[in-house]
Amino acid sequence: MSRAGTGNPKPPAGYLDGPARTGSRFTFWLGAATLAGFAGMAALGLLVVPADDVQGDTVRIIFVHVPSALGAYAAFGLTALGSVMWLWRRSEWWDITAHAGAEVAVLLCGLTLVTGMLWGRPTWGTYWEWGDVRLVTTLILFLVMVGYLSVRALGGDAGSVATRAAVVGLAGAVNIGIVNRSVNWWANRTLHQQSSLTEGKLEDLTLLTLVLAFVVAAMAIWWMVMHRFRIGWLERQLADRDIHQAVRARRAEAGR
């Protein structure tokens, strides 16, 4: 005869949904294609593309700097979208997506700042200029999103953490447009040049390599976001499992 309260309670809804591991055949081949693209871009950028008449070999940094900057915008935008969907629908899928986008965005934004400084020293005569609007707004964007990750790392109730992080993510997203348009709005307060694509007058081979760099960067971002999302989903599953096991242990104690 069965007793009330005995037996194993069912796992939470959605406990077994989602990816079981971080890799897949698709991500394997996407990663392989990305590595091949990086190799091709490096060969073109370092060995084939001629030096610029004004900037010399420094122009080659453009193949990392510009795709990193635009990739950071895209990843920050993904965080903003995921934040909106969390606040609206309370969707864990979108919350994990927002977190994944933020980690990739911080990486790319940091790379943008570093390559910009390396570009600035021979081009402008300084690594950093606090009076430059583009530099300062990019740094602010970077720090806001580091704050986003810090909020995530504080711990606590998962729903409350996600809500606080979403607010920070949306605040950071406002700065994306400011960073992007800063050289136009404050042209007299920036050392940064206008858009390399629209105003740079790039030669054919340089433009081709830059386009390839955009494609490779997009594949790399896709690969990183997918893996980080799957890690996040598995972390949620482990947390749900721990809670489920704790509840089962308490029920067993109560039964005894």
Query: Per-residue DSSP letters for 96-143?
Result: HHHHHHHHHHHHHHHHHHHHHHHHHHHHHS-S--TT-HHHHHHHHHHH
pLDDT at position 205: 86
Token code pair at residue 82? 């995921």
Spatial distance between the Cα atoms of 93 and 100, rounded to a whole number of angstroms: 11
pLDDT at position 201: 66
pLDDT at position 120: 84
Q: What is the mean pLDDT of each run of 10 residues along the chain (256 residues)?
A: 41 48 84 95 90 80 93 95 95 94 96 91 83 86 94 87 94 86 68 60 82 95 94 80 58 65
pLDDT at position 194: 60
pLDDT at position 34: 96
pLDDT at position 44: 92
pLDDT at position 238: 79
pLDDT at position 25: 87
pLDDT at position 14: 46
pTM value surpassing 0.85: no
Angle at 74 between CA 136 and CA 149, to 5 degrees: 65
Spatial distance between the Cα atoms of 95 and 112, rounded to a whole number of angstroms: 25
Q: Going by C-beta distance under 8 Å and a sequence separation of 6 or more, which residues neighbour residue 91?
A: 85
Spatial distance between the Cα atoms of 67 and 180, rounded to a whole number of angstroms: 13
pLDDT at position 191: 64
Q: How far from the centroid of its chain's Cα atoms is residue 55's Cα?
A: 30
pLDDT at position 151: 94
Residues forming a β-bridge with 56: 52
Count the Cβ atoms, other than its own, within 10 Å of residue 2. 6
pLDDT at position 5: 42
Q: Going by C-beta distance under 8 Å and a sequence separation of 6 or more, which residues neighbour residue 183?
A: 133, 134, 190, 192, 193, 194, 195
